[in-house]
Amino acid sequence: MNDIIDALLLIFFSAWLIATILGQWNAASHRRERFPWVRRYDRFGLIPTWTFFAPRPATTDIHLLYRDKLAVGAMTPWTEAIVVEPRRFLHIVWNPSKRQRKMVSDTVGALFRDLSVYSSGAKRGKRVGPLRIPKDFHTTWPYLILLHYVSSLSRLPGCAATQFALFRSGGDPEEGGAEPQPVFISALHTL
Amino acid sequence: MNRLLDTESSLLLIERIACIGVIVSSIEWWGIAPQLSNKGLFSWDVLKLRRGGILLGPLGRLVDKVFEHPVVLFIPTARLLLASWLVLGVQSAVMRAVMIAALSAMTRLLYVRVPLGHDGSDQMASLILLVSAIGRSIPSPQAKSFAVIFIGLQGCVAYAAAGWAKRSAEGWRSGALLQKILTTSTYGAPVIGRYVGRRAFGLLSKGLLTWQCTFPLVLVLPERLAYLSLACGVVFHVANAALMGLNTFVWSFIATYPAILYTRGVAHELVQALWTRITV
């Protein structure tokens, strides 16, 4: 009986390991997906992605900002919703803020993936740019996560509506780094 | 006998190191607890809209109750208590299996509650706990050994995959991408670019790629070289924690090292047995 259990366990772990190895090709691929079925059938998230920061890592900082429209009609200046904490020596053992940073990074990644899907679905010849929001895009999950967060921030009374934006900063340090540029601006939403 | 530690000792050490990472991670979740409220970045009100599917009826209400703040804090609390207990040492084999399974389930539950915002250290910790729970739960003499070997091989695949994926990008081979990452505020510090030149980044990047791509050789290399490669891993993770803020990677990836050494021992025993069979 033990031999049968051992054999089944060996098959199970071997299949899992092979699926893990095949799954890395998807994550590492520059062009087309290889073995897409590996992740398609991974309903429980058992296949890890080990290709950290590769092949194309994020080499700029993304900032989540928001501004409000006051009841009198004026707009407030853009304010950073989450300020990236400067690197400290303590981070070697304790760094809770990395969760928020990663959450924003994952959400922004998902937002741009959704945006590219919307863009490819747009009428031929009428490409949708990152600063022009496609119709119904405000109902997508990443958009709602960011909108919900900035809407929930405490603010002074008299704000009628809010909007958020994603700015990209950084770039090649030898070229002095790029000035922050807006890469996405949401619509105005009533508070 | 080529194994430094026996199966049970290896598994215990793997679990203990991984559990230290779980303790740090759980306290960190408590550190950002307000973000799990309905006004926070990890609000259940909006995270439950994933894939447009909201559970309705009594089950939906129960899930909402469990996942809403402050009840949701039972997840990091349970993880913290279970992991602390496992680090301090639970002697009973049955109790240890139950606790590892419970910790693994709590870790999975955290993924359901917060599907975004996890990193590679969470992936590795989650994998170690699940595999360890399987190894301890199955009543077979080989189950634990298979679990340890699987964790060791996953560790090797993790480093090699990261290395080979980087190798395909020219920016990684030249060091330009390493420089760009380390000079962002998110995963480095802009000040680093002022003190380290591109040539140094190029050398560092080449060294990193060589070490990661050849990492699985640790299973067949002579003992001293194998230890040297693992020591490079410790330096790599500590440097990542200091420069990039990836502190929990230190625990979850170094937790695989006893498994890698165990797997190395098994591989050497197999080769010796095969050699004896051929030569005798």
- Per-residue pLDDT at A172 exceeds 80: no
Chain A, nearest residue to B198 by Cα: A174
- Per-residue pLDDT at B17 exceeds 90: yes
Instruction: Match 């190895």 to its residue by tokens.
Output: A21
- Per-residue pLDDT at A29 exceeds 60: no
Flag if B165 and A17 touch (Cβ within 8 Å): no
Query: What is the predicted pLDDT for the residue at B262?
Result: 97
Residues B215-270: tens digit of each pLDDT: 999 999 999 999 999 999 999 999 999 999 999 999 999 999 999 999 999 999 99
Mean pLDDT in residue range A2-17 = 94
Query: What is the predicted pLDDT for the residue at B195?
Result: 83
C-alpha distances (whole Å) from A83 to each of A3, A97, A98, B222, B245 are 57, 10, 12, 48, 15
Flag if A50 and B120 touch (Cβ within 8 Å): yes
Greater pLDDT, B107 or A34: B107
- Measured from the Cβ of residue B210, the count of other Cβ atoms closer than 10 Å reads 12
pLDDT-derived band of residue A38, with 50, 70 and 90 as boundaries?
confident
Query: What is the predicted pLDDT for the residue at A63?
Result: 94
Query: What is the predicted pLDDT for the residue at B99?
Result: 96
Indicate the pTM of the whole model.
0.93
What is the pLDDT of chain A when averaged over all its residues? 86
Instruction: Match 């090649």 to its residue by tokens.
Output: A172
- Of A13-17, A22-26, A133-137, B43-47, least confident by mean pLDDT is A133-137
Residues of B in contact with A176 (CB under 8 A): none
Residue type, B224: R
Percent with pLDDT over 90 in chain A:
55
* DSSP calls for chain B: ---SS-HHHHHHHHHHHHHHHHHHHHHHHHHTGGGGSTTSTT-HHHHTTGGG----HHHHHHHHHHHSTTGGGHHHHHHHHHHHHHHH----HHHHHHHHHHHHHHHHHHHHH--SS--HHHHHHHHHHHHHHHHHHS-STTHHHHHHHHHHHHHHHHHHHHHHHHHTSHHHHHTHHHHHHHTSSSSS-TTHHHHS-HHHHHHHHHHHHHHHHTGGGGGTS-HHHHHHHHHHHHHHHHHHHHHH--HHHHHHHHTTHHHHHHHHHHHHHHHHHHHHHHH-
Q: How far is CA A16 from the centre of its chain?
A: 28
Q: Tell me if A24 sits within 8 A of A51, measured CB to CB.
A: yes
- Per-residue pLDDT at A124 exceeds 50: no
User: CA A142 to CA B97: how far, in whole Å?
Assistant: 38
Test the A interface: residue of B80, B183, B249 with most A CBs within 10 Å: B183
Å between B114 CA and nearest CA of chain A = 9
- Measured from the Cβ of residue B52, the count of other Cβ atoms closer than 10 Å reads 8
- How many CB pairs (< 8 A) connect A and B? 207
C-alpha distances (whole Å) from B157 to each of A27, B133, B153, B162, B217 are 13, 21, 6, 8, 11
Query: What is the predicted pLDDT for the residue at B138?
Result: 93
What is the pLDDT of chain B when averaged over all its residues? 93
Query: What is the predicted pLDDT for the residue at B7?
Result: 94
Mean pLDDT in residue range A66-86 = 92
Q: Tell me if A162 sits within 8 A of A189, measured CB to CB.
A: yes
Query: What is the predicted pLDDT for the residue at B24?
Result: 98
Residues of B in contact with A148 (CB under 8 A): 43, 45-46
Query: What is the predicted pLDDT for the residue at B208?
Result: 97
Chain A, nearest residue to B130 by Cα: A46
Query: What is the predicted pLDDT for the residue at A79?
Result: 94
- Per-residue pLDDT at A134 exceeds 90: no
Interface confidence, given as ipTM, is 0.94
Mean pLDDT in residue range A3-9 = 93
Residues of A in contact with B159 (CB under 8 A): 50
Query: What is the predicted pLDDT for the residue at A125?
Result: 44
Chain B, nearest residue to A146 by Cα: B41
Query: What is the predicted pLDDT for the residue at B263?
Result: 97
Structure tokens, A84: 């990236």
Mean pLDDT in residue range B91-104 = 94
Query: What is the predicted pLDDT for the residue at B55?
Result: 72
- Per-residue pLDDT at B53 exceeds 70: no
Query: What is the predicted pLDDT for the residue at A175?
Result: 53
User: CA B54 to CA A93: how far, in whole Å?
Assistant: 37
Residues of B in contact with A21 (CB under 8 A): 157, 161
- Per-residue pLDDT at B90 exceeds 90: no
pLDDT-derived band of residue A55, with 50, 70 and 90 as boundaries?
confident
Name the B residues in 79-138 with CB < 8 Å from any A CB.
111, 114, 116-120, 123-124, 127, 130, 134, 138
Query: What is the predicted pLDDT for the residue at B54?
Result: 67
